[in-house]
Amino acid sequence: MVDFFAQQQDFSQDSERLLAYAQLCTVFYERELKLLADCQYSPERLRKRLTSLPFYIKRAAESLIALENPLTLDTQNGTWSSKQKRRCPADKIDDELNGKWLSRNAQIGLIVPVKVVDTGVVCFKLDCIDAVSDEKIRLNEHGWFALNGHCLEQCDEDKRVLKANKDTMSAAACGHQWIGGDMTFPRTLTLRELLLTTVINWPNLNKPMPLTH
């Protein structure tokens, strides 16, 4: 009798995981295909993107389901959720605090939040450090930044790397946004950003995720 109920419980859990996996794959395919349809890619580049898409979608779905973190996963929409702060968490982080944290903790593989201000809308985007020099760091997507967090490259957006803490990382992972100092609707993360949420070291945000052997 005990084995029967244990098997039923396992079956129920497996069914829930399969449903969540199917929901995530579906929403990711819909989202990525729409993005590709709007891009002006050459036929060859589009072919390569479409060929690699199943791998990254399956990887993202599997990783999100297996993850344990302080956020809530919405499998129908393919998003993380948590309570949004009324005021932007970046307001509490000045250049001095940023500089101390980055000087002490910047290393290759560390996931960091990037504050982005575009046409008055403030949000955070996740990125990964892939190079560190004496006075600056390079992020995989957003380029070079000084150790006080300020962007060293010309771009249309106002960008700043911030100290990683629970508030800034949660805001980045959940797509929280603010306009005029007040919160607004969250944005949808890219598939790349969702994959980055799976390698955030929540127990110690000052270090990259430990490698598994």
Encode pLDDT of 36-63 as tens digits: 888 888 889 889 989 999 999 999 999 9
Spatial distance between the Cα atoms of 144 and 138, rounded to a whole number of angstroms = 4
Spatial distance between the Cα atoms of 34 and 151, rounded to a whole number of angstroms = 30
- The answer to whether residue 166 scores a pLDDT higher than 70 is yes
pTM of the model: 0.87
As given in the structure block, the two tokens for residue 160 are 């700043």
Residue ranges per structural domain of the chain: 2-66, 80-197
Spatial distance between the Cα atoms of 40 and 47, rounded to a whole number of angstroms = 13
Taking residues 142-155, report their average pLDDT. 91
- Tell me, what's the pLDDT at 154? 83
- Tell me, what's the pLDDT at 212? 53
6 or 93, which is more confident?
93
Cβ atoms of 57 and 32 within 8 Å: the answer is: yes
Torsional class of 91: left (φ above 0), alpha (ψ -120 to 50), beta (otherwise): alpha
77: phi then psi, degrees, rounded to nearest 5? -105, -5
Cβ atoms of 41 and 53 within 8 Å: the answer is: no
- Tell me, what's the pLDDT at 180? 87
Residue 139: how many other CB atoms lie within 10 Å: 21
Nearest of 61, 36, 13 to residue 197 by alpha carbon? 61
Residue 62: how many other CB atoms lie within 10 Å: 15
Share of the chain above pLDDT 90, in %: 69
- The answer to whether residue 10 scores a pLDDT higher than 60 is no
